[in-house]
Amino acid sequence: MSAPTRSIRAAVLTVSDRCSQGITVDTSGPALVDMLRTRLHADVVETRCLPDERDLLAACFVEWSRRQHGIDLVISTGGTGLAPRDVTPEAARSVFQREHPGLMELARLRCLAKTPRTFLSRGVAGTVGRTLILTLPGSLRASTENLDALLDILPHAIETLRGEVQDDGRPDANPVSGKVVAHED
């Protein structure tokens, strides 16, 4: 995994009625924060726990995507299943400027070897401005496995979204500005 030009600034949102009320302890959010810091060397600048309320979730995604926050990556955990109150994908889609279904498709494919239940998650990915938003499942195991499935490509995705990547390393590339990335594959 190549390190991005500058540290990735990230935020983690836990979506859970019970955790937001203090009935249960959030384990997924802290585990994702730890993974982002240790495996992606990200600077986690915001964390929050909210109930499964579409408008609250959408407002948080919008707030964290504002340019002044400088957040590159927002990861949510929870609210992506089939339960009636699971509304995280709908909240995220309501604010996306561009949806990126391939990222969560890749996460589900890479997690399939561990469990076919990975396809029960309705998690989505997309961008608001220069912020990438990923909505992961709520369980500790599923959220960390899904993030792990994407860690190798997130630095390049963030660099590209920031506008730091000019070319994909084609032999005939003539870089004028930006970063040229050579791929082994």
Per-residue pLDDT of the chain (185 residues; tens, 9 = 90+): 554 458 999 999 999 999 999 999 999 999 999 999 999 999 999 999 999 999 999 999 999 999 999 999 999 999 999 999 999 999 999 999 999 999 999 999 999 999 999 999 999 999 999 999 999 999 999 999 999 999 999 999 999 999 888 665 666 555 555 555 555 55
Q: How much is the pTM?
A: 0.90
Q: Measured between alpha carbons, how far is residue 9 from residues 72, 136, 145, 155, 165 in Å?
A: 5, 18, 21, 11, 18
Question: Which H/E stretch holds residue 162?
Answer: helix 154-162
**What local confidence, expressed as pLDDT, does residue 45 receive?**
98
What whole-number distance in Å separates Cα of residue 88 and Cα of residue 129? 19
Q: Distance between CA atoms of 36 and 57, rounded to whole angstroms? A: 21
User: What domains are defined for the chain?
Assistant: 9-163 (3.40.980.10)
Amino acid 168: pLDDT: 56
